Structure 1
């Protein structure tokens, strides 16, 4: 820099001697020129550099000797359309203010902001430069970051909502707009909480989520929502003060994930029950056989006064044996031979078996099986077992009597639809989904194995069982069995 200082002194002396750029009374100007933070360059009428201050040499990273007699515009990196536009403006207006990329003598590229004025002082052109490379880098980095965020925001499979502390929606991505059923344009500027319009338990959960977000700066929650299409689960994660005092909420629907987890849980439970059942059934069956044998031997010597006790013991042993049989069905795969069979025939056989029990409980059957129904592809005894389990349950939930309505009809998608409806007390909504789980029952003396086996059999037939119920209005079991082999 010593050489550049010497050059400046020589240049000023040259200017003084020739009375061209500075006059001898320009000491203040000379001081400002030398100490200016911005780079200042003077060029003659041919565009050659004749004078440069210390800041200019620092920007161009060269000595005065390297800069002298070069043309300013020689250092422009690309002579593109923008450059030619700048040149044209400088010729027409004798002045221009813009920004270009310059190639330094050492090979470095810099973004320089400049002001250029022709014939500015004593007939010389003046250019003032400022290095904005760092600012340009940060601006470009910010722009790239915003573009990346926008791509993630718009392209993610999760719903995303940006909203401020006043709950006003600032932006929303297509997924969130689709879930909420409102277009993006109509959502922006609206109150998020009012738009969600949750009530009851869901509203309290949202309020708690918002309070935790304010307190902790982040909040996560699992929100179950009952919609017309059924129950849905949403995983909601919010972060506060993400940028410019904005909150970001990410919404992910996990209904299928929850259903899969529930299936895995039931499957694991079923495996455990199967292993447990195999052990229990074999261990209990042997002493049970001995007990039944000795009870039968004692039957002849039982006095009439004790006949009630004998009947209770016999009944309970029969019940234990029935439970063991159910356990064995779960414990080992059954040999199944599927064939086409008339569904009406299976149902009629079932009702004949249960008719006596129905009469004892003052229950009447109403069967509607009109129409030309196709045969179903099934194992008849297993389907009969399903009908027995469900109709027996229907009888038992009506201790004061009533009607069991049974309707068989052609369903959709090559299925036969069997509907079994009782007039019992119904099942609470939160317990319907648990039907068919191991040991889950709504009866006081039940084991839950009957329904569990029924669900298992229908699943193996590639069918399905659906339950609808209201407390106080009875329950309806819908059984769908495919007509053809799957």
Structure 2
């Protein structure tokens, strides 16, 4: 399978479902070329192994490379190394299955741009290949990242009162021990040092976690245990929960060691947003349950509250931008949560609790 010329006998991908092959053949070739070369989208065809056998001339407008520089190369040479695993697991295994991919491609100048690709596996004259239609969505991603960072900083600000309270308690203990040691310098018990060390470690743990989630997003993905992520988030949210007379119950049920391929900071933001919402909705206090269950392909994390529940009429609206039922809400929390999950090939669904009290926010993520 060599470099393909622009042959409508073989270039069946561009046929519209409601058009016949003969109708396409009757169009002037100059019009067809114009459509391809002036589109904002890049059209390409590759072998199943990734070798690029056709790419539209307008590729230089998106990637900076000429058509000749990309023909014959393997597409994996241009995909960001952190997105290779995602790309491999998402390309459609079955014929005519249409999949949307979001990943980074290297520009000729050396930087990476965010792209959105619709791809399908087709078969022509006994030969299987992937066809792709790709758009540059870097500007869209920049806006999404700004909104996510804004919401993240808003959450950090809202958590600050509870965190300050959480830090004040060990500081009070430390001050007390220092006063004892100053009053009786010759009668310092060894256990004082151990208690003081533990109190300092509490402060370090809380402040480190707060600083970690405050950092700008870089989309750095690694293999992470879902249980460790949830434990860190629940530890951070304990102070907020106590201020609202709420208990957080994490129930891993043996699934805590399941591995995700994810950006840890973004995953933590997802569960911080969900647990924070659950705490705030329970005005009379109660318990937030965080439960895990899984099958061979995915893990499901349920954040369950004991609040009034979500009205059926609002279930489809709560993930929309700037929609909020809170007096001082931004309306960005669940929108950002949903976007972060989509970036990780995950989903967010809202369920009414069977008992008729409260709601369940279910996160579903693919496992390694």
Normalising by structure 1, we get a TM-score of 0.31
> Which is richer in helix?
1
Give the structure with higher Rg (CA). Answer: 1
Normalising by structure 2, we get a TM-score of 0.41
Higher RCO (CA-CA < 8 Å; seq separation 6+) = 2
